[in-house]
Amino acid sequence: MQRAVAFFASHGFAASTRDLAKELDITQPLLYRYFPNKEALIDRVYEEVFIRRWNPEWEEWLADRSLTLKERLCRYLKDYGRFVLRSEWVRIFIYAGLSRGGINQKYLARLRERHFMVIASELRREYGIPEPRDESELEDELDLIWAMHSSVFYIGVRKWIYELPTPKNLDRVIDLRVEAFLRGVPAVLSEERRAR
């Protein structure tokens, strides 16, 4: 499975199972003995890359009110960054978005429900932001959270897709991004909600 993950990270999901079998030094029929079709193999790659490595403690950290929201976000994003900022993760996520949207959609739905919704709720609580009155206001919150969150993932895109230099001190960069997020977003949301 590890070699299959590396193969799809290098060649994308358009690559054939024949080429994968050749890369693994096995026959294609042997590959199909373990995976009845390419879809089953890709589902297993999704499970390996995106689900098995998911840290269930992230949800606990985000909801732990014994720490400030800033401390929680920094802790979470630093650990999450170590999870996603690897070549295989970034490349498979990009390839999946280009050819296998379902993989990304499943993952992003999980991220939205388990992380973004918690962050939004904790942001409102800690900064006294009025509750969203409708789905549109909730989506505004989630979009701002997504922008901060995806800025960490984009470091991996810079490194593994564009082959550009990335920050040497990831922890410092995350601290700065969280600080910028918390200085700006609560003020913007509070003002917007009160104006309405």
Distance, in Å, from the CA atom of 194 to the CA atom of 84, rounded to the nearest integer, reads 37
pLDDT confidence of residue 141: 96
pLDDT confidence of residue 101: 64
Distance, in Å, from the CA atom of 88 to the CA atom of 161, rounded to the nearest integer, reads 11
Yes or no: say if 181 and 81 are a contact pair by the CB < 8 Å rule: no
Taken in order 124, 129, 130, 134, is the CA torsion positive or negative? negative
pLDDT confidence of residue 172: 97
Dihedral-angle region of residue 76 (phi above 0 means left; psi in -120 to 50 means alpha; beta otherwise): alpha
Q: Encode the chain (196 residues) as per-residue pLDDT tens digits.
A: 889 999 999 998 889 999 999 999 999 999 999 999 998 998 898 888 888 889 999 999 999 999 999 999 999 999 999 989 999 999 999 998 888 767 888 899 999 999 999 999 999 999 999 999 999 999 999 999 999 999 999 999 999 999 999 999 999 999 999 999 999 999 999 999 888 7
Is residue 113 within a helix (H) or strand (E), and if so which, with residue range? Answer: none
Taken in order 58, 62, 65, 66, is the CA torsion positive or negative? positive
